[in-house]
Amino acid sequence: MRLQIEIDRETALKLAVLSLPEVRGLRPKVLFVIQQLIDHAQQGVYRPGAWERGWVSQAFGDEWLEELMPDTSRLVNGQPIFDRPIPTIDG
């Protein structure tokens, strides 16, 4: 999925400080940070035991947890270790 977002320069400069030192240029730095945030957020959704789960709940509340179900396609010792979104008509 391709997304287009627009942020002001002050926000971009703040986000850029979170980038790795070897990433050069404001746009690449901000892109790196946004990609990292997206990755950690999605890990918080699908990995119940991950530290990111608490971070996502702190940012978005806990209501979204009702939209998940255990992913029974990935078991360890007979138990699901990941969650997945409950299937919907449009998803």
Domain membership flag for residue 4: no
Q: In angstroms, how far is CA 78 from the centroid of its own chain?
A: 27
Structural domain boundaries enclosing 80: 9-85
Rounded Cα distance between 21 and 9, Å, is: 19
Domain membership flag for residue 16: yes
Domain membership flag for residue 2: no
Domain membership flag for residue 90: no
Domain membership flag for residue 3: no
DSSP state of 63: G
Domain membership flag for residue 31: yes
Compute the mean pLDDT over every residue in the chain, rounded to the nearest whole number: 95
DSSP state of 48: T
Look at residue 88 in the predicted model and tell me its pLDDT.
85
Model pTM? 0.87
Question: Burial letters for 54-72: b for 16+ Cβ neighbours within 10 Å, e otherwise?
Answer: eebeeeeeeeeeeeeeeee
Look at residue 87 in the predicted model and tell me its pLDDT.
92
Rounded Cα distance between 61 and 53, Å, is: 11
Look at residue 89 in the predicted model and tell me its pLDDT.
73
The CA-based angle 65-70-72, given to 5 degrees, is: 165
Look at residue 48 in the predicted model and tell me its pLDDT.
95
Stretches where the chain sits below pLDDT 50 are none
Number of domains present in the structure of the chain: 1
Beta pairing partners, 69: 84
